[in-house]
Structure 1
Amino acid sequence: MLPAQRIRVRVQGLVQGVGFRPFVYGLATEYGVTGFVGNDSGGVFIEAEGHPPALDGFVAGLRRQAPPLALVEHVIIEVTEPLGEAGFRIVPSEGGARRDALVAPDTATCDDCLAELSDPACRRYRHPFANCTNCGPRFTIVTGVPYDRDATTMAGFAMCAECEREYRDPVDRRFHAQPVCCPACGPTLRLLGADGRPMPGDPVTTAVEWLQRGCILAVKGLGGYHLAVLADHERAVATLRARKRREARPFAVMAPDLAAADALVHLEPEAIRLLTGSRSPIVLAPRREDAAVAEAVAPGSRDLGVMLPHTPLHHLLAAQVAQPFVLTSGNLSDEPIACQDADALRRLAPVADGFLLHDRRIHVRADDSLVRVFRGREMPIRRSRGYVPAPVAVPWMFPRPVLACGAELKNTFCVAKGTQAFLSHHIGDLENYETLRSFTEGIDHFCRIFGVRPAVVAHDLHPEYLSTKYALDREDCDLLAVQHHHAHIASCLADNGHEGPVIGVAFDGLGYGEDGTLWGGELLVADLETFRRAGHLEPVPMPGGAAAVRQPWRMAAAYLDQIYGDALPDLPVTNRHKGNWATAVSMARTGTNAPLTSSAGRLFDAVAALTGVRDVITYEGQAAAELEARVDPAETGAYSARLGEDTLIIKSGDLVHAVAEDVLAGVAVERIAARFHNGLAAVVVRAVRELHRQTGLDTVALSGGVFQNVVLLERLAHGLEQAGLTVLLHHRVPPGDGGISLGQAVIAAARERATT
């Protein structure tokens, strides 16, 4: 027999908080290997001793048999001298300055814990905080690394003897499950009235009774508070909208189980996989005509966002309610989600009739993730709980640590090192002070837990973005300004592991252009390092500046004036705004408070107003979303639009002109909406084909918030593929501004690699 050998093993990746050490212990026992395993700030360290065949099987098993929530990225082996020790043990965690360990996302309740939750014979029967190494809170309770109990918000809860036994037993599935607890030693669930006074009785049972009476309930979740009402209770949903000051943005709905979700929306296999998986996001899917939800849940939308219970508390609520209920973010309009108890009681008291809460502190605010399925594949819209902070791996090296500050709206930031980009949770719109504070505190937290001291800070080109101003205030780092739409295309490239160059189609609301105008309907020739603006939608004025974003009818005025001038026909939109129309036209003509924009989002706004779909919005992108919802899928007609003869300028006014003529002719809005979508897709395909002819590039990247519109996305992607082109779409990060920071980060790295 070959003599015994000893090796040192370093395992890097998502290997803390996922049951990796007990897995290693069991694997060592299986192969008769001696030594030890432990956690440190670099990941998992192992020393293993045994005969070579046993060591070979042990090392192979580290990657091949890893626990379901683990992500093994690197296994580094070093041979050392045998010590002849007996047995295998798990040693205490080590600290240190190095920070290479990954922090796990919050994970939906596993089947084993769910079985205990419903078993009267189990001591965790109906325990709202049941968890193990395969599930439960992670990111939202972590305060530092290594991931141990004293570096979480569970540090103040002393384990009872029975939980301590499980925690110390390497063969128990709760071995070193840091949030482990039971009714005897864990957090306490309470139900409070709107005045903050405790309510008697079982908190869950009483809360369910309140919901059934039509009350609004604030519920403390993993990453913040939600507001809940019965989904089919018209009055309760309307009351929630009024109190929350959220006039029209759709609410998400929690279904008690998959069958109930399927009764609300049409679910394809990938949607089912997402709903029932460990990440448990909200899935946006086509609503069934007979879905038992109040009309006010998702007004103006053909889709409905549904999710399944993802914590023991949500499972308990859903099982007793036994029907779908609204579960929307616990905030007022334009504010960040409440996550601290005192703040929630203060801010949500005017909204909620009661509070179902507990005393486990949330360290990091994290909204629910929102995804949809496109062509059988996941497309994130908001990447947050369940996904963050798992890294987005890229096939290129970041030469120095990077911080990318993202955009102003739907903000995320990104810290990156090695080949890993840590995209943050959804921060939101930085115009709100509390959200801005969440942004700065989040950056500090990510830099600390991932051991990143940024050497390069990338930011948007717009000088007035608060994310830009934050970057400019940083010291001891190199700054890099990145054009907004280049960042969109680079984000799509990184999402697909493609270096470029590609033809990039970047369609969104607004982004600051290199010429000082507001871009948003861009055709770029781009790679990770550079870009060239090769074409765009024709620029039009935005009468009133930011007011034109809130009031789409102003964009209709600008387009119609360019088309008809003083010969404007008698259109309904002009009559609805007769008192202000002349002022808006005057602004557009003189350029007074009317910056030029090539924005695709503003084009959608103009058409939405012209067709009577939406004149004034209450949330960003509303007009475009409601116009998409009105599309007649059977309509194959398409409006035509010209391309500029000398440059690739898409004459988007031609589309608006055709819309206006059909409105005058009395054509149904649904047919007009379809013809507009079809026509825009067709002219963009023509423009891209011309760029393909000029450049020889045959790959097209589609990015920007407009491509959350799956009607346009499908028609455009299909047309490009029919032309023989390869199309890159988003599937790991959002196409909207939530993915901008990833694009900024990879651009910064590419430019640095080019200079070294």
Structure 2
Amino acid sequence: MRVTRGFTVHGTVQGVGFRPFVHRLAGGLGLSGWVANVDGHVEGEVAGPADAVAEFRRRLRTDAPVLACVREVRWNDVTGAAPFQGRGRGAPPGPAAAGQGAVSGSGGETAPSTAQPRGGAAFDIRRSGPGPRSATARREIPADAAICDACLRELFTPGDRRYRYPFVNCTDCGPRATIIEDLPYDRVRTTMRRFPLCADCAVEYTNARDRRFHAEPVACPACGPTLAWESLRGERALKAAVGAVAAGGIIAVKGLGGYQLVCDATDPAAVAELRRRKRRPTKPFAVMVRDVPAAGRLARLNSTELALLTSSARPVVLLRARRGQGGAVPQVAPAVHSRQPVPAAHPGQPTPAPEPGLPTRSPAPAPVADRLGLFLPTTGLHHLLLHELDRPLVVTSGNLADEPIAIDDTDACRALKGVADGFLTHDRPIRARYDDSVVAAVGRLPLTVRRARGLAPAPLPLDPPASVPLAGAGAQLKHTFTLADAGVAHVGPHEGDLADAATYEAFTQAYADMCRLTGITPRAVAHDLHPGYLSTRWALEQPVPHVAVQHHHAHVAACAAEHGVRGPFLGVACDGLGLGDDGTLWGGEVFVADLTRYRRVGRFATAPLPGGEAAVRHPSRMALGHVFGAEPLGSPSLERVARGFLGRLDARLVEVVRSMVEREVNCPRASSAGRLFDTVASLLGLVDTVSYEGEAAVALEAAVGRAGRDHPVPLRHRVVRVGSLWVYDSAATLGDLLERQADGEPVPRLAAAFHSALAAVTAELVARAVEDGAPRTVCLGGGCFVNVPLLTQVRRRLRAQGLRVLVGRAVPVGDGGISYGQAAVAAARLTEAQQGKAKKER
């Protein structure tokens, strides 16, 4: 029996080789029909024997391309259909389409592809048309994908026509999100429309058996983008850039999602000069290595880390550094801890977020960590640079401190002219800004630290679904935004810190572009409680209903929503600073919560932040705040045991801070886990002043790595009852630390003992809450949980209590996940409100 079936496929199905896959699948089964990109999804029809159509239906999901994500397939019977005529609902009107010919001299789009599958039946890939935008259409933007093995072989095969061509790509790899100008995804709606296909590329593009069949970014030296270095082009430009790096210079390279600054990672003078020019004295750099064996010589990798390193996203992976490599090993790959500006009439500008990796031999001061940030080449251009130079390279964002990464050629030359010795650029425009993603593994558990190139903007599930389209505005640091509609959330790329007009402008532009591409027009916007955040100010300017979400509720809600937890849970937030609903600063919190509301059941003790934002930039001030003003919960005063610490600080600073604390002048109090890390780092003499956010915590975690296999006795801790809350008395821990330091215990042992104490405290606070009837599912959130020793020990202790322990994986546990958590809370609250209204009306 012969049947005809229509299908509609939703998900990430454009820009991932889905139409060519459908074409090959139907051809192999002897089916006729058509397929097309329509709006943001794929539509088509197949006709043929019923058993073959059934097999097509099964394999449409199971055999989809590796970069695709099929979320929903809808089928309909096509009854009484006329014989297949080669044009379906997804095709634009015939005359306009047919008149374009095989190769367009202006747009570079080829004519529809028609092949003769087995049995002589015709199957067509129809040219996509913009068509009417449906209010219910689901559009997903594919992320960029690193160069695949097949293209890499071509890159280094003499005689291949793409030999040493930096922009080699195919259906399985290459730029996507960074070149898309509009959907449906076709070449004419990408920045590749500027490069008409040559005859050879057009043959590949229209050949169903070729892996470049309908690969929209396809190009070659004859018709594609070209490298440039001043007046030089192509191979000569590449050689000039390689020579500049080899001579100790710094170059700006136009990457997939923006410009990158590149220098020799093993040249201390080059790294020091990059630090000076970029105004980045200690903040770590990422290091790109040639291949997996090169990474293995510098770091230890488990199977999870290897999978992350070699994934198509090619993120920066935080790895355990090998020691004893003669100083050639890049060190310092930080854990990232969240810090928020303190409430003030005019909140101070936050310092930047950390980035992994720093060459060991750099003379610039930097804390020594046992982790480093490594990543593999993303593009053919990266491979060529590493092949020619044969050494690790620092590859970092092409910007100055606090500014967004440059994507426009003119802006890059202006911003980086004092940093780069030369520019290796090309003539393919970058449509969207995407910095490098950063990930880590805690044992076998993968964590996303920064969700950007290769990962964003691939959508994430949202459960419960949003009843109306909405946006999450994000926080102030590590900023992202989220667009949500139905059961899907599109988390925008990492924008950095909303510290100045340029970053804010980059955010608003990215938001507008994402709304246009996804087709989502938010009818509500969720935001942080902090009135000084630029994201909050922006949200309150939007002419839609506003949903205020407490910072740490958003952290734990992000974890719960990612894992599909719809009922009550215990939320543990270990973070920097966030405004609480009582107007004070929070950061070490235990909640009984669901996605609509929360109840605070535990917290860390409070301590003053002398000078507000100044205490965050100067951990010594934070330590003095604990010494002179720790919350009185029964532990002895710290001043007596802190004499050694006080003695090494400037006496005038000590007296000024003492007076501020005693008089409560500009000393907001905070229950912050992140600020406790800063305090301990300063008390141990590791860091007193930081140049980037999280530096003190990085140094403290690094000290744990130097403790080796030693397992010191945890520092003392106390948990007391204060009203309705269980409260961690951190003064007991700090007092024990100072006493053991005075007795000569080494810093690494004390750092390890502090991490163990904090894990024990977290487990006890959770245990007390469970005893009081709290749920047994625990969701962990907040930037402190990127700290490997802390997360490892907390998970182990909570699991030993028989609890279900969850932590974000695809959603960053730090502030990069705040917007997703805000969207989840807003979706739940709006749904609850609608249900309540409907109930009343009944």
**Which category of TM-score, normalised to the shorter sequence, fits these structures?**
over 0.9
Q: CA deviation at 1:697?
A: 1.7
Structure 2 residue 213 is matched with structure 1 residue 155: no
Q: Is the 8 A contact 1:12 1:72 kept in 2?
A: yes
Q: CA deviation at 1:676?
A: 1.1
Structure 2 residue 321 is matched with structure 1 residue 287: yes
For 1:121 and 1:216, locate their aligned partners in 2 and report how far apart those are by CA, in whole Å. Answer: 32
Partner of 1:628 in structure 2?
701
Q: CA deviation at 1:146?
A: 0.5
Q: CA deviation at 1:200?
A: 9.8
Q: Is the 8 A contact 1:15 1:101 kept in 2?
A: no
Partner of 1:442 in structure 2?
510
- Equivalence map 1:488-527=2 (5 Å): 488-527=555-594
Choose the corresponding residue for 1:554, options 605, 612, 621: 621
- The amino acid of 2:743's aligned partner reads A
Residues 675-697 of structure 1: per-residue CA shift (max 9 Å, x gap): 11111111221111010100142
Choose the corresponding residue for 2:689, options 599, 603, 616: 616
Partner of 1:428 in structure 2?
496
- The amino acid of 1:441's aligned partner reads Q
For 2:730 and 2:640, locate their aligned partners in 1 and report how far apart those are by CA, in whole Å. Answer: 20
For 1:678 and 1:708, locate their aligned partners in 2 and report how far apart those are by CA, in whole Å. Answer: 15
Q: Is the 8 A contact 1:636 1:674 kept in 2?
A: yes
1:7–1:380 Cα change, 3 Å:
same
Q: CA deviation at 1:290?
A: 3.2
Partner of 2:309 in structure 1?
275
- Equivalence map 1:362-377=2 (5 Å): 362-377=430-445
1:299–1:235 Cα change, 3 Å:
farther
- Equivalence map 1:175-214=2 (5 Å): 175-192=213-230, 198=232, 202-214=236-248
Partner of 1:538 in structure 2?
605
Partner of 1:723 in structure 2?
801
For 2:639 and 2:220, locate their aligned partners in 1 and report how far apart those are by CA, in whole Å. Answer: 75
Partner of 1:346 in structure 2?
414
Structure 2 residue 711 is matched with structure 1 residue 643: no
Residues 434-466 of structure 1: per-residue CA shift (max 9 Å, x gap): 111111111111111111010110000111110
Structure 1, 263-272 or 642-651: larger mean CA deviation: 642-651
Partner of 1:480 in structure 2?
547
Partner of 1:679 in structure 2?
757
For 1:94 and 1:343, locate their aligned partners in 2 and report how far apart those are by CA, in whole Å. Answer: 33
Partner of 1:467 in structure 2?
535
Structure 2 residue 623 is matched with structure 1 residue 585: no
Q: CA deviation at 1:667?
A: 2.0
Partner of 1:94 in structure 2?
129
For 2:832 and 2:650, locate their aligned partners in 1 and report how far apart those are by CA, in whole Å. Answer: 54
Choose the corresponding residue for 1:123, options 152, 158, 161: 161
Partner of 2:45 in structure 1?
47
Q: CA deviation at 1:417?
A: 0.8
For 1:264 and 1:648, locate their aligned partners in 2 and report how far apart those are by CA, in whole Å. Answer: 44
For 1:378 and 1:715, locate their aligned partners in 2 and report how far apart those are by CA, in whole Å. Answer: 16
Q: Which runs of 5+ in 2 are unaligned?
A: 85-120, 330-358, 630-635, 836-842
- TM-score (norm. length: structure 1): 0.97
Partner of 1:337 in structure 2?
405
Partner of 1:259 in structure 2?
293
- The amino acid of 2:772's aligned partner reads Q
Residues 331-352 of structure 1: per-residue CA shift (max 9 Å, x gap): 1122221111111111111111
- The amino acid of 2:128's aligned partner reads S
- Equivalence map 1:388-403=2 (5 Å): 388-403=456-471
**What secondary structure is seen at the aligned counterpart in 2 of 1:743?**
helix
Structure 2 residue 784 is matched with structure 1 residue 706: yes
- The amino acid of 1:137's aligned partner reads P
For 1:26 and 1:602, locate their aligned partners in 2 and report how far apart those are by CA, in whole Å. Answer: 57
Partner of 1:595 in structure 2?
668
**Number of residue-to-residue matches in the alignment:** 749
**What secondary structure is seen at the aligned counterpart in 2 of 1:402?**
strand
Structure 2 residue 473 is matched with structure 1 residue 405: yes
1:346–1:557 Cα change, 3 Å:
same
For 1:290 and 1:242, locate their aligned partners in 2 and report how far apart those are by CA, in whole Å. Answer: 28
Partner of 2:262 in structure 1?
228
Partner of 1:249 in structure 2?
283
Structure 1, 565-574 or 590-599: larger mean CA deviation: 565-574
**What secondary structure is seen at the aligned counterpart in 2 of 1:140?**
coil
1:401–1:150 Cα change, 3 Å:
same
Q: CA deviation at 1:574?
A: 4.2
- The amino acid of 1:83's aligned partner reads A
Partner of 2:272 in structure 1?
238
Q: Which runs of 5+ in 1 are unaligned?
A: none
Structure 1, 26-35 or 104-113: larger mean CA deviation: 26-35
For 1:278 and 1:565, locate their aligned partners in 2 and report how far apart those are by CA, in whole Å. Answer: 52
Q: Is the 8 A contact 1:265 1:287 kept in 2?
A: yes
Q: CA deviation at 1:565?
A: 7.1
**What secondary structure is seen at the aligned counterpart in 1 of 2:192?**
coil
Choose the corresponding residue for 1:108, options 122, 139, 146: 146
Structure 1, 574-583 or 724-733: larger mean CA deviation: 574-583
- The amino acid of 2:717's aligned partner reads A
For 1:706 and 1:62, locate their aligned partners in 2 and report how far apart those are by CA, in whole Å. Answer: 42
Choose the corresponding residue for 2:33, options 32, 35, 38: 35
For 2:387 and 2:467, locate their aligned partners in 1 and report how far apart those are by CA, in whole Å. Answer: 51
Q: Is the 8 A contact 2:638 2:735 kept in 1?
A: no
**What secondary structure is seen at the aligned counterpart in 2 of 1:598?**
strand
1:567–1:306 Cα change, 3 Å:
closer
Q: Is the 8 A contact 2:226 2:234 kept in 1?
A: no
Q: Is the 8 A contact 2:458 2:490 kept in 1?
A: yes
Partner of 2:838 in structure 1?
none
For 1:201 and 1:47, locate their aligned partners in 2 and report how far apart those are by CA, in whole Å. Answer: 46
For 1:218 and 1:580, locate their aligned partners in 2 and report how far apart those are by CA, in whole Å. Answer: 42
For 2:537 and 2:688, locate their aligned partners in 1 and report how far apart those are by CA, in whole Å. Answer: 33
Residues 420-445 of structure 1: per-residue CA shift (max 9 Å, x gap): 11011101100121111111111111
Q: Is the 8 A contact 2:467 2:831 kept in 1?
A: yes
Structure 2 residue 377 is matched with structure 1 residue 312: no
Q: CA deviation at 1:322?
A: 1.3
- Equivalence map 1:658-677=2 (5 Å): 658-677=736-755
Q: Is the 8 A contact 1:574 1:581 kept in 2?
A: no
- Equivalence map 1:13-28=2 (5 Å): 13-28=11-26
Q: Is the 8 A contact 2:584 2:670 kept in 1?
A: yes
**What secondary structure is seen at the aligned counterpart in 1 of 2:228?**
strand
CA RMSD in angstroms, aligned pairs only: 1.6
- The amino acid of 1:645's aligned partner reads R
Residues 693-728 of structure 1: per-residue CA shift (max 9 Å, x gap): 001421211110011111111111111111221211
1:271–1:411 Cα change, 3 Å:
same
1:199–1:581 Cα change, 3 Å:
farther
**What secondary structure is seen at the aligned counterpart in 2 of 1:589?**
helix
Residues 26-48 of structure 1: per-residue CA shift (max 9 Å, x gap): 11111111111111113111111
Partner of 2:828 in structure 1?
750
- The amino acid of 2:7's aligned partner reads V
Q: Is the 8 A contact 1:573 1:610 kept in 2?
A: no
**What secondary structure is seen at the aligned counterpart in 1 of 2:314?**
coil
For 1:222 and 1:617, locate their aligned partners in 2 and report how far apart those are by CA, in whole Å. Answer: 31
